[in-house]
């Protein structure tokens, strides 16, 4: 299951009990649309182990700026409230799955 990440709820998810993966995207972004189904599959695969969130950079530009996001999609990986990994651009499921595994 994916959650909607906003500037208002981000800190709660970031500091939660589970690792957090945040997909920063926008509706007009072609590569974001390519990655979206992969993120959804991984969210289902890791349900209960990792929280997976989607953050629309158009609606939450402060959050994107906070992490220096200049290109989307950018996927941030948080553990214990800290960014431990980052991926920029479109990729395949195997690459992202390895990054999800590293969070556990």
CA neighbor of 92 nearest in space, from 47, 15, 29, 34: 34
What is the rounded CA–CA span in Å between residue 9 and residue 2?
A: 14
- Which of these is catalytic: 21, 24, 29, 51? 29
The pair phi, psi for residue 102, each rounded to 5°, is -65, -20
Instruction: Check if 29 is active-site.
Output: yes
CA neighbor of 57 nearest in space, from 84, 33, 23, 89: 23
- Which of these is catalytic: 20, 21, 32, 63? 32
Active site residues: 29, 32
């Amino acid at each position: 299951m994916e959650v909607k990440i906003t500037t208002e709820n981000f800190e709660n998810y970031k500091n939660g009990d589970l690792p957090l993966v945040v997909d920063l995207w926008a509706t007009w972004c072609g590569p974001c649309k390519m990655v979206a189904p992969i993120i959804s599959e991984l969210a289902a695969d890791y349900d209960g182990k990792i929280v997976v969130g989607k953050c629309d950079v158009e609606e939450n530009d402060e959050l994107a700026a906070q992490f220096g996001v200049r290109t989307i999609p950018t996927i941030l990986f948080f553990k214990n409230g800290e960014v431990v990994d980052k991926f920029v651009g479109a990729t395949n499921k195997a690459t992202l799955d390895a990054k999800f595994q590293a969070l556990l």
